[in-house]
Amino acid sequence: MLNKKILGFTVIAALAGGTAQASMVQVVDTFGVFGSASDPDMVLADVTDRALSVASFASTAEGMAGNVLTNVKVEIRASMSTKGTFTNNGSSATVNATVLELDAPWIAKESGSSVIGDHVFGDAYTTVIDEFIGSVSAGATGSFGTFTHDSDWLTVYDDSTLNSFFNDHELMYLFSTKTSSFISGSSNFASSFTTATAGGLRVTYSYQSLSSTPIPEPAVLVLMGFGLLGFACRKQA
């Protein structure tokens, strides 16, 4: 008789407790077009404090629903693309094109809070694109590109330590860089360039939610079966 009461209590507690579910929501802000030198917004090579921001978890529909933030992943991205034309106004020559290089670092500077800190996009962006065009005859014209150098998404934070901040505050980064493009060779070359930059900020909020219509676990269903069987046997007795 005692065992039947314990089984019944276990079933009720499991049903009342609900089913915890782990989910995630992602918020993204970008400027420019990754891999394109023909950005419709005409974001050119030099960028100064271009702001990207994402909402706090509490500002998302999932946060406003009362779910609990469990982890935050922050990723940033920088990309540069260029294309152009050239004309050899001198004698036949071999052409090297440093299509795009940095005069100032590609940096994403966190604005205001300094919770995570600034990020410089590494040594790979010292010379972004260095292309060998080859031998070009006198009077010849040609085109090059689109050439792209893209950092892809880089994780700068993936932890639960700062959940209290991300729950209530937006995150903002200011993207800046300065570039130059040129063609070099042992002749007289004229060239033109079209260059664009792109940047991105992406935050993934992982959270815990409680299902409003809990589904019993298989083990609970077994316990329910035993409990109902016990009640049936008692009624027959």
* DSSP H or E segment with residue 220: helix 218-236
pTM: 0.76
Range with top average pLDDT, 63-77, 121-135, 191-205? 63-77
pLDDT tens profile 79-102: 988 888 889 899 998 887 777 888
Q: What is the pLDDT of residue 95?
A: 82
pLDDT tens profile 38-73: 876 666 678 999 999 999 999 999 999 999 999 999
* Separation of alpha carbons 123 and 62, rounded Å: 39
Average pLDDT score over residue span 114-127? 85
pLDDT tens profile 135-167: 889 999 988 888 888 999 999 999 999 999 999
End-to-end Cα separation, the chain, in angstroms: 13
pLDDT tens profile 23-36: 999 999 999 999 88
Q: What residue type is assigned to position 157 of the chain?
A: Y
* Separation of alpha carbons 113 and 165, rounded Å: 9
Among the ranges given (10-19, 65-74, 84-93, 217-226), the one the predictor scored with the smallest mean pLDDT: 10-19
> Does residue 212 have a pLDDT over 70?
no
Banded model confidence at residue 37, pLDDT cuts 50, 70, 90: confident
